[in-house]
């Protein structure tokens, strides 16, 4: 007998709502001009559906909100810190907890305690703030992700994998003594939310141990990575995401986490370690840059909501199933409409392939930035550029980095929007795609020195600068 189809549905019902409003096209044209064609500079009141990021934008549960009332705000020895320490040890398996205000606070401390000028830090694709802190500490990031990760059309199931041959070459060239740690990101953000496999992580860790090099995870989206391992990797189909997450972390010496993603809170993060001596050094910097060792960068209530969020994300597999299911719902709709998106659909968002959508705009005229602005003008949907603007300049040569991926990220906040919102987003992307020839490139009129994508300003290229459209085959 054929099995009846059963769709997934959100494992919660909605108890409180926040109104959002649609604006006119004229209003949005004015708003994006005022924002210098940078979606980071828009006011949230001018946005209809906000897919800028999944960071700090989750809806908390009633249990988390109740936790806010129970936060212990003691300056030292807060009960809420001990709850958090227990949650991190239980779910991630790390005994030493260094609480920070968010992920980059943890990256700052980790980079400062481990990196010396001239060091090399191999990693499976860069992340903006992670690489910034590595370079700020005097190190150099070297990309060791597999080649498929740089190809938006490759359907490799584990595009986040480390290329072990690339890693061996870096170790041979730089020497293990100049590599303080390797930085392995779970569900690689800049590759489109792509997982690495357990087998690859296990092998990478073994290679690191052989050379006496630490392996530090960016476990910010490790839960979503655990889900993909369960779905795609032989031997894991019957394991819970909770068990898989713990195994992921077992192949590392520590982790930085932005709790604003998987952990379902609006602020917070941590550095977690195994070695008490490293943790002691980290706490030395924590008290100088963040706060005392038992709150770091968070209030007691933040830590209380966070420890509850950590347990909640793995209580059953239903949460992550619905979360990734919603992302896939939007992605599959766009694929069905013929819109070029990065494949496979990632864990936290759908990434539009701006290069393929706008072949008439050269990378020097910021195709992804232009597409994000056009989408906003069409419907008030806010997205984020993940291409040449985000990649920034090479600190040695001062030249623009030219990533092969020129993407616009439609990032889905957790537990916030409904399937109907996803339908509206898909309709707008399809409408913009149908009129893609009308989209013009941009020139940058203000460029900040660091992490330029946050605050850069642009204006449309003048009509005379527009290159003739290349024929589309
Ligand atoms: O935004 P923070 O400082 O809490 O975390 C920085 C950070 C570290 N690692 C990874 C993989 C991230 O995705 C990350 C932040 N991501 C943001 C803000 C995003 O929009 O994707």
The pLDDT value given to residue 5:
82
pLDDT of residue 466: 55
Closest-CA residue, ligand 1 atom 18, reads 55
| pLDDT value at residue 163 | 98
Report residue 342 as tokens. Answer: 């990065």
Give me ligand 1 centre to Cα 413, in Å. Answer: 13
pLDDT recorded at residue 467? 52
Work out the angle between the directed axes of helices 79-91 and 241-250 (0-180°, nearest 10).
90
Nearest Cα residue to atom 7 of ligand 1: 103
Question: Which DSSP string do the residues of 101-146 spell out, in sequence order?
Answer: SSHHHHHHHHHHHH--TT-EEEESS--HHHHHHHHHTT-EEEE-B-
Q: Residue 148: helix, strand or coil by DSSP?
A: helix
- What are the chain's domains? 25-47+318-459 (3.90.1150.10), 62-314 (3.40.640.10)
Cα 371 to chain centroid, rounded:
20
Would the CB of 127 count as within 6 Å of ligand 1?
yes
Ligand 1 centroid to residue 3 C-alpha, Å:
41
| Ligand 1 touching residue 386 (CB < 6 A) | no
Q: Which residues, including other chains, have CB under 8 Å from residue 192's CB and lie 6 or more apart?
A: 152, 159, 342, 346, 349, 351, 405, 407
User: Would you say the CB of residue 220 lies under 6 angstroms from ligand 1?
Assistant: yes
pLDDT of residue 472: 38
Cα-to-centroid distance, 168 and ligand 1 (Å): 28
Here the tokens at position 165 are 């041959």
53 lines ligand 1 (CB under 6 A): yes
Return d(Cα 450, Cα 470) in angstroms, integer: 33
pLDDT in tens, the chain (473 residues): 567 788 889 999 999 999 999 999 999 999 999 999 999 999 999 999 999 999 999 999 999 999 999 999 999 999 999 999 999 999 999 999 999 999 999 999 999 999 999 999 999 999 999 999 999 999 999 999 999 999 999 999 999 999 999 999 999 999 999 999 999 999 999 999 999 999 999 999 999 999 999 999 999 999 999 999 999 999 999 999 999 999 999 999 999 999 999 999 999 999 999 999 999 999 999 999 999 999 999 999 999 999 999 999 999 999 999 999 999 999 999 999 999 999 999 999 999 999 999 999 999 999 999 999 999 999 999 999 999 999 999 988 999 999 999 999 999 999 999 999 999 999 999 999 999 999 999 999 999 999 999 999 999 998 656 555 444 33
Phi, psi (deg, nearest 5) at residue 372: -60, -40
Distance in angstroms between the alpha carbons of the first and the last residue of the chain = 46
Q: In degrees to the nearest 10, what's the CA dihedral of 99, 295, 84, 104?
A: -20
| CA separation for the pair 432, 409 (Å, rounded) | 15
The CB of 331 under 6 Å from ligand 1? The reply is no
- What pLDDT was estimated at residue 351? 98
For ligand 1, mutation pick of 127, 264, 270 (most atoms within 8 Å of CB): 127
Does ligand 1 come within 6 angstroms of the Cβ of 50? no
Q: What is the pLDDT of residue 142?
A: 98
CA of 130 relative to ligand 1 center, distance in Å: 8
Q: Kind of pairing, strands 214-218 and 181-185?
A: parallel
Paired residues of 384 in beta bridges? 409
Taking the CA of residue 185 as reference, the ligand 1 atom at the shortest distance is: 11
CA distance 160 to 147: 10
269 lines ligand 1 (CB under 6 A): yes
Q: Is the peptide bond before 344 cis (omega within 30 degrees of 0)?
A: yes
What is the structure's pLDDT at 188? 98
Query: How many angstroms is it from 127 CA to the middle of ligand 1?
Result: 8
């Amino acid at each position: 007998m054929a099995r009846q189809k059963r769709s997934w549905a959100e494992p919660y019902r909605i108890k409180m709502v926040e109104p959002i409003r649609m604006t006119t096209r004229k209003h949005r044209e004015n708003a994006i001009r005022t924002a210098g064609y940078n979606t980071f500079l828009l006011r949230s009141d001018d946005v209809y559906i906000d897919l800028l990021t999944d960071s700090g934008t989750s809806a908390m549960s009633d249990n988390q909100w109740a936790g806010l009332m129970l936060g212990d705000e003691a300056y030292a020895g807060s009960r809420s810190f001990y709850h958090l320490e227990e949650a991190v040890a239980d779910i991630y398996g790390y005994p030493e907890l260094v609480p920070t205000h968010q992920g980059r606070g943890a990256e700052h401390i980790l980079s400062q305690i481990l990196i010396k000028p001239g060091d090399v830090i191999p990693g499976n694709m860069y992340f903006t703030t992670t690489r910034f802190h590595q370079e700020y500490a005097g190190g150099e990031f070297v990309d060791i992700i597999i080649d498929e990760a740089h190809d938006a059309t490759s359907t490799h199931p584990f595009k986040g994998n480390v290329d072990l041959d690339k890693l061996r070459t870096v170790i041979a060239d730089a020497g293990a003594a100049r590599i303080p740690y390797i930085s392995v990101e779970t569900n690689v953000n800049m590759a489109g939310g792509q997982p690495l496999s357990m087998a690859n992580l296990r092998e990478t860790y073994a290679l690191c141990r052989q050379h006496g090099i630490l392996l530090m995870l960016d476990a910010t989206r490790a839960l979503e990575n655990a889900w993909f391992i369960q779905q795609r990797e032989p031997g894991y189909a019957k394991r819970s995401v909770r068990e898989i997450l713990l195994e992921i972390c077992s192949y590392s010496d520590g982790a930085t986490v932005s709790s604003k993603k998987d952990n379902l809170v609006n602020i917070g993060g941590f550095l977690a370690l195994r070695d008490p001596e490293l943790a002691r050094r980290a706490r030395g910097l924590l008290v100088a840059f963040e706060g005392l060792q038992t709150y770091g960068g968070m209030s007691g209530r933040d830590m209380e909501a966070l420890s509850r969020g950590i347990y909640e994300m793995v209580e059953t597999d239903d949460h992550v199933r619905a979360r990734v299911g919603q992302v896939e719902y939007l992605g599959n709709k766009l694929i069905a409409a013929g819109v070029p998106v990065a494949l496979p659909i990632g864990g936290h968002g759908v990434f539009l392939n701006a290069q393929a959508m706008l072949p008439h705009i050269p990378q020097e005229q910021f195709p992804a930035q232009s597409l994000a602005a056009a989408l906003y003008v069409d419907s008030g949907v806010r997205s984020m550029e993940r291409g040449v603007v985000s990649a920034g300049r090479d600190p040695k040569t001062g030249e623009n980095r030219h990533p092969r991926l020129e993407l616009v990220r439609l990032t889905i906040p957790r537990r916030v929007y409904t399937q109907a919102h996803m339908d509206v987003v898909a309709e707008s992307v399809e409408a913009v795609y149908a009129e893609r020839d009308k989209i013009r490139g941009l020139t940058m009129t203000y460029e900040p020195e660091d992490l330029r994508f946050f605050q850069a300003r642009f204006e449309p290229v003048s009509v005379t600068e527009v290159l003739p459209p290349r024929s589309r085959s």
